[in-house]
Amino acid sequence: MIGGANLAKADKRRQEELTNKQLNAIEALVSGATDSEAAAVANVSRQTVNTWKLHNPWFKAEVNRLRAELWGTSRDRLRSMLPAALARLERELTNDEGDWRAALKILDLAGLGGDCGDVGLTDGAAILDQLARTRRPSPLDSLLDDLNGGGPVTEEERQQVLGELQELGGLTK
Protein backbone atom coordinates (compact mmCIF):
# COMPACT_ATOMS: atom_id res chain seq x y z
CA MET A 1 0.00 0.00 0.00
CA ILE A 2 1.26 3.47 -0.84
CA GLY A 3 1.24 5.99 2.02
CA GLY A 4 -0.39 9.41 1.74
CA ALA A 5 2.88 11.22 1.03
CA ASN A 6 3.73 8.76 -1.73
CA LEU A 7 0.25 9.16 -3.23
CA ALA A 8 0.68 12.94 -3.28
CA LYS A 9 4.05 12.53 -5.01
CA ALA A 10 2.54 10.08 -7.50
CA ASP A 11 -0.33 12.49 -8.21
CA LYS A 12 2.06 15.42 -8.72
CA ARG A 13 4.21 13.29 -11.01
CA ARG A 14 1.15 12.33 -13.08
CA GLN A 15 0.02 15.96 -13.30
CA GLU A 16 3.47 16.84 -14.59
CA GLU A 17 3.08 14.06 -17.14
CA LEU A 18 -0.03 15.58 -18.68
CA THR A 19 0.89 16.50 -22.20
CA ASN A 20 0.62 19.99 -23.64
CA LYS A 21 -2.29 18.75 -25.75
CA GLN A 22 -4.06 17.52 -22.63
CA LEU A 23 -3.38 20.78 -20.80
CA ASN A 24 -4.73 22.75 -23.79
CA ALA A 25 -7.86 20.58 -23.87
CA ILE A 26 -8.31 21.02 -20.11
CA GLU A 27 -8.05 24.80 -20.38
CA ALA A 28 -10.63 24.82 -23.16
CA LEU A 29 -13.03 22.53 -21.28
CA VAL A 30 -12.80 24.59 -18.12
CA SER A 31 -13.50 27.71 -20.19
CA GLY A 32 -16.77 26.13 -21.34
CA ALA A 33 -15.75 24.53 -24.63
CA THR A 34 -17.44 21.40 -25.88
CA ASP A 35 -15.41 18.22 -26.37
CA SER A 36 -15.21 19.01 -30.08
CA GLU A 37 -14.03 22.56 -29.46
CA ALA A 38 -11.46 21.38 -26.91
CA ALA A 39 -10.26 18.77 -29.40
CA ALA A 40 -9.77 21.44 -32.05
CA VAL A 41 -7.76 23.58 -29.62
CA ALA A 42 -5.61 20.59 -28.66
CA ASN A 43 -5.34 19.35 -32.25
CA VAL A 44 -6.71 15.90 -31.41
CA SER A 45 -9.97 14.11 -32.14
CA ARG A 46 -13.12 14.60 -30.10
CA GLN A 47 -12.92 10.93 -29.14
CA THR A 48 -9.41 11.46 -27.73
CA VAL A 49 -10.68 14.24 -25.47
CA ASN A 50 -13.60 12.04 -24.45
CA THR A 51 -11.22 9.15 -23.70
CA TRP A 52 -9.07 11.41 -21.52
CA LYS A 53 -12.17 12.63 -19.66
CA LEU A 54 -13.43 9.11 -19.05
CA HIS A 55 -10.23 7.15 -18.50
CA ASN A 56 -7.45 9.41 -17.25
CA PRO A 57 -7.79 10.16 -13.53
CA TRP A 58 -5.15 12.91 -13.65
CA PHE A 59 -6.88 14.60 -16.58
CA LYS A 60 -10.18 14.45 -14.65
CA ALA A 61 -8.51 15.74 -11.50
CA GLU A 62 -6.97 18.71 -13.28
CA VAL A 63 -10.29 19.60 -14.94
CA ASN A 64 -12.01 19.35 -11.55
CA ARG A 65 -9.27 21.33 -9.78
CA LEU A 66 -9.47 24.18 -12.29
CA ARG A 67 -13.27 24.16 -12.23
CA ALA A 68 -13.21 24.35 -8.42
CA GLU A 69 -10.79 27.28 -8.67
CA LEU A 70 -13.06 29.00 -11.19
CA TRP A 71 -16.13 28.40 -9.01
CA GLY A 72 -14.29 29.78 -6.00
CA THR A 73 -13.57 33.00 -7.86
CA SER A 74 -17.14 33.17 -9.13
CA ARG A 75 -18.56 32.56 -5.67
CA ASP A 76 -16.41 35.38 -4.28
CA ARG A 77 -17.80 37.69 -6.94
CA LEU A 78 -21.37 36.57 -6.22
CA ARG A 79 -20.85 37.07 -2.51
CA SER A 80 -19.71 40.63 -3.20
CA MET A 81 -23.17 41.20 -4.71
CA LEU A 82 -24.97 40.01 -1.58
CA PRO A 83 -25.43 43.45 0.03
CA ALA A 84 -27.08 44.80 -3.14
CA ALA A 85 -29.17 41.64 -3.57
CA LEU A 86 -30.34 41.74 0.04
CA ALA A 87 -31.16 45.42 -0.21
CA ARG A 88 -33.14 44.82 -3.41
CA LEU A 89 -34.92 41.85 -1.88
CA GLU A 90 -35.81 43.91 1.19
CA ARG A 91 -37.17 46.73 -1.00
CA GLU A 92 -39.21 44.32 -3.08
CA LEU A 93 -40.60 42.53 -0.07
CA THR A 94 -41.62 45.75 1.66
CA ASN A 95 -42.86 47.64 -1.43
CA ASP A 96 -44.26 44.74 -3.41
CA GLU A 97 -42.99 46.33 -6.63
CA GLY A 98 -41.16 44.76 -9.54
CA ASP A 99 -39.48 41.39 -9.86
CA TRP A 100 -37.51 40.12 -6.88
CA ARG A 101 -36.58 36.77 -8.44
CA ALA A 102 -33.17 38.04 -9.64
CA ALA A 103 -32.23 38.95 -6.07
CA LEU A 104 -33.26 35.49 -4.87
CA LYS A 105 -31.26 33.88 -7.66
CA ILE A 106 -28.12 35.76 -6.60
CA LEU A 107 -28.64 34.54 -3.03
CA ASP A 108 -29.07 31.02 -4.34
CA LEU A 109 -25.93 31.18 -6.49
CA ALA A 110 -23.94 32.64 -3.61
CA GLY A 111 -24.56 29.43 -1.70
CA LEU A 112 -27.32 30.64 0.57
CA GLY A 113 -29.95 28.60 -1.23
CA GLY A 114 -28.10 25.41 -2.08
CA ASP A 115 -24.79 24.13 -3.31
CA CYS A 116 -23.33 25.16 -6.61
CA GLY A 117 -19.97 24.36 -8.02
CA ASP A 118 -19.40 20.80 -6.80
CA VAL A 119 -16.94 19.65 -9.43
CA GLY A 120 -15.81 16.30 -8.10
CA LEU A 121 -12.50 14.99 -6.84
CA THR A 122 -9.45 17.13 -7.60
CA ASP A 123 -6.79 14.55 -6.81
CA GLY A 124 -5.87 12.00 -9.47
CA ALA A 125 -4.82 9.41 -6.88
CA ALA A 126 -8.20 9.78 -5.13
CA ILE A 127 -10.00 9.27 -8.46
CA LEU A 128 -7.84 6.20 -9.08
CA ASP A 129 -8.73 4.82 -5.63
CA GLN A 130 -12.41 5.53 -6.25
CA LEU A 131 -12.21 3.56 -9.52
CA ALA A 132 -10.43 0.71 -7.73
CA ARG A 133 -13.18 0.53 -5.10
CA THR A 134 -15.88 0.26 -7.78
CA ARG A 135 -14.14 -2.79 -9.21
CA ARG A 136 -14.30 -4.81 -6.00
CA PRO A 137 -16.30 -7.97 -6.69
CA SER A 138 -18.38 -8.56 -3.58
CA PRO A 139 -21.57 -6.58 -2.95
CA LEU A 140 -20.87 -7.05 0.75
CA ASP A 141 -17.43 -5.44 0.27
CA SER A 142 -19.11 -2.53 -1.48
CA LEU A 143 -21.61 -2.12 1.37
CA LEU A 144 -18.83 -2.23 3.98
CA ASP A 145 -16.75 0.19 1.90
CA ASP A 146 -19.67 2.62 1.84
CA LEU A 147 -19.97 2.38 5.62
CA ASN A 148 -16.28 2.95 6.37
CA GLY A 149 -15.47 5.54 3.72
CA GLY A 150 -14.36 3.11 1.07
CA GLY A 151 -11.64 1.30 2.94
CA PRO A 152 -8.00 1.30 1.97
CA VAL A 153 -7.07 0.59 -1.63
CA THR A 154 -4.15 -1.75 -2.20
CA GLU A 155 -1.30 -1.09 -4.57
CA GLU A 156 -2.41 -4.17 -6.51
CA GLU A 157 -5.89 -2.66 -7.00
CA ARG A 158 -4.34 0.63 -8.19
CA GLN A 159 -2.05 -1.15 -10.64
CA GLN A 160 -4.98 -3.16 -12.01
CA VAL A 161 -7.00 0.03 -12.62
CA LEU A 162 -3.98 1.77 -14.18
CA GLY A 163 -3.55 -1.20 -16.52
CA GLU A 164 -7.21 -1.06 -17.53
CA LEU A 165 -7.02 2.70 -18.12
CA GLN A 166 -3.88 2.24 -20.20
CA GLU A 167 -5.69 -0.33 -22.36
CA LEU A 168 -8.61 2.07 -22.82
CA GLY A 169 -6.21 4.74 -24.02
CA GLY A 170 -6.82 7.16 -21.16
CA LEU A 171 -3.19 7.29 -20.09
CA THR A 172 -0.65 8.62 -22.50
CA LYS A 173 2.47 7.61 -20.57
pTM above 0.75, yes or no: no
Q: Could you give the CA distance from residue 40 to residue 27 in angstroms, rounded to a whole number?
A: 12
Torsional sign, CA 80, 82, 84, 85: positive
Confidence at 2, pLDDT banded by 50, 70, 90: very low
Q: How far is CA 154 from CA 5, 70, 91, 157, in A?
A: 15, 33, 59, 5
Q: What is the model's pLDDT at position 120? A: 76
The answer to whether residue 74 scores a pLDDT higher than 50 is yes
Of the listed ranges 3-7, 84-88, 142-146, the least confidently predicted one is: 3-7
Per-residue pLDDT tens for 15-72? Answer: 567 999 999 999 999 999 999 999 999 999 999 999 999 999 999 999 999 988 888 7
pLDDT of residue 167: 81
> Which helix (DSSP H) or strand (DSSP E) does residue 36 occupy?
helix 35-42
Q: Give mean pLDDT, residues 153-171.
A: 81
pLDDT given at position 82: 79
Sign for the pseudo-dihedral over CA of 114, 117, 122, 127: positive
Contact 109, 78 (CB under 8 A): yes
Contact between residue 32 and residue 146 where contact means Cβ atoms under 8 Å apart = no
d(CA 13, CA 106) in angstroms, rounded, equals: 40
